A and B are shown apart, each in its own frame.
Chain A
Amino acid sequence: MSTENKMLHTVNKSPFERNALDSCLRLAKKGSSILLIEDAVYAALANTAVAEKISSRMDDFSFFVLGPDVETRGLSETPLIEGVSVVDYGDFVDMAAAHSAVNSWL
């Protein structure tokens, strides 16, 4: 899938703490990629009260989660929402290069 004309969105705060993920989901154009980093990785976990924020939008966006942030927080064995891909910093760089621009939702 060509991502040249698509924006890469990043979210870095927990969906339990901030509305950044909600705002991103509302204001990202369909077809964009969304990468969860830092505390936002909690949004990628399968069995939480907020999992449906992401699971209900799998048709609209491609979701990614930054592996090092998952591992740091002790979540490596915790099931993630199906369809969310784990990437590393090298992939993050590749994604930033392959997309048209990066929009960080803080």
Chain B
Amino acid sequence: MSRWLRALAIPVAVVTAWELWAQIFGIPYETLSHPSAIVVSGWTALWDGTILTATLQTFSGALLGLFIGVMIGVVLGIPLGLFPAADAVVGPSLDALRPIPAVALLPLALLIFGFGVRMEALIVAIGCLWPVLLVTITAVRNIDARLLEIGRLLELPGSVRILRIVLPATGGRIFVGIRIAAGISLALAITVEIALNPNGLGYAMVLASQGLDPALLWAELLWVGIIGWAFNRLLLGAERRWLPATIGAVHA
């Protein structure tokens, strides 16, 4: 059996069995729904733009937060990685802050910004900044000391040193951290929407849940899965295209 057939075997079997069960034995509408209804519901939602609008909202919150989180993570991480003394002094305080789950700050973000994209971006930024910070510190700390010496010997100004030597020398490791953070950004954005924010895909699922519309809910869940998978693939592809030399480090 070809690889594709094997990959699809289980999902196809589950979907087919489910559909047959529903058609033959019938399922009460409020509970589970069935594949054909889900497809119809999803298709409609796609066409009338509701899902796409929601996706856009989710992504705007996620990407904004990701950007902020990555910026802070890299900007803080580089000096902490270059100067172990600084890391020793600042590190323990950071370690104390890190266990606070980003979602714990949801009500606070709500107080500050009210509903909307800024509140979502704040939570996403906090969630994304930790992995990026840690990866940056480790990557910068592991730069070959000789490369840094070259920067000092040539008496390059600090900013040039960072742009031309430190960042390229970290290889793709920082990018791997960004890829991980990107996954977190999407998940956190949806989490915020499910908990509080009346925007985006998470909120759409809450509406479907409260509106007792399981078909739409499953369709949206499937859509979220597809989006997450596609987003991850996109980033992997970008990583491979632009940083081919670091493929070995990617899975380290």
- A and B: bona fide binding partners: no
Residues of B within 8 A of A (CB): none
